Amino acid sequence: MARAVTGYLDHLTVERGLAANTIASYRRDLRRYTEYLDAAGVRGLGEIAESDVAGFLAALRRGDDDHPPLSATSAARAVVAVRGLHRFALLDGLVPDDVAAEIRPPTPARRLPKAVPVESVVALIEAAGAVEGPRGLRDRALLELLYGTGARISEAVGLAVDDVDRGQATVRLAGKGGKERIVPVGSYALRAVEEYLVRARPELAVKSRGGVRGGTLFLNVRGGPLSRQSAWQILRSAAERAAGGSSELARSVSPHTLRHSFATHLLDGGADVRVVQELLGHASVTTTQVYTLVTVDRLREVYATSHPRALS
């Protein structure tokens, strides 16, 4: 069993090229699966029945003394990992049947992305830039770039200086699975990045003991690469300042707030959903279409409050 899991994870890493975070999640899920099978007295792949796989799914949702109940989303990911393992074992000739083929992951409840109005985005960016010194220039450039490109926070902190082409007004983003995409970037973000590069980054870079490796764009106060956690804290702190300490804005901000707002505002402005899909780096348009539900809700709200015969 352990050899099969190792072989499957190696296959996902080398041949499928899945991201390191995804591999780590699958490894945790499959470790829990093997522990569940051990407790049930199942020692090898050939001994596993469909009822064992179904029982594992039920155990995930139920939880136990060592594990809290998993949400539908987390349980679905674990089941996908288990199904992939059994499919791999079948194709590799380790077992004669795929006992997990008929086990369906639970369907997660559809959660609509939370976008904030344009004026709130502006307030966030202004609040980030209000910090004195190089940090304020860096924070403003970061938030302008997040909103101006729809980048994930992890993509933004992974940027190198050369990834921003100021002449072509584009930025090269490395998305999930190492897939790169070129995204246009607006004048506000370009201007903020230019000011940061000229007036702030050199001051931060000199504080690095070993030099800044790889020409990382966004640096922390010690001259090293800015982490995803630090970038999220920058966004949260800007929201608190913009909200004056406590308001709906401060409560509604998440690491994806500016990305969600980017997509929603594009669709509100008439952008085609396929274009937004490309800009966000979604593999399937189905993922992007959740934003169309947000804009339909907005249209319904405007209609209900504006049309003279909308309400009975």
Rounded-to-integer distance, Cα 148 and Cα 44, Å: 52
Identify the active-site residue in 152, 201, 260, 265: 152
Pick left, alpha or beta for residue 215 (phi over 0 → left; psi -120 to 50 → alpha; otherwise beta). Answer: left
d(CA 268, CA 54): 43
- Residue 152 annotated in active site: yes
Residue 292 to residue 298: CA distance in whole angstroms: 10
Q: Which two tokens stand for residue 167?
A: 């002449």
Q: Quick check: helix, strand or coil at residue 80?
A: helix
Whole-angstrom distance, CA of residue 61 vs CA of residue 237: 35
Please list the residues that pair with 171 across neighbouring strands. 164, 183
Question: Is 282 designated active site?
Answer: yes
DSSP state of 210: S
Catalytic residue (choose from 27, 172, 176, 181): 176
Gap between the Cα atoms of 279 and 281, Å rounded:
6
CA 237, 238, 243, 247 dihedral sign is negative
CA distance 213 to 223: 10
Catalytic residue among 32, 86, 140, 259: 259
Tell me how far CA of residue 273 lies from CA of 179, 189, 263, 287, in angstroms: 20, 23, 9, 10
Inter-residue long-range contacts of 91-94, CB under 8 Å, 24+ positions, other chains counted: 92/7, 94/4, 94/45
Q: Is 86 a catalytic residue?
A: no
176 carries an active-site annotation:
yes
Residue 164: strand pairing partners: 171
Enumerate the active-site residues: 152, 176, 256, 259, 282, 291
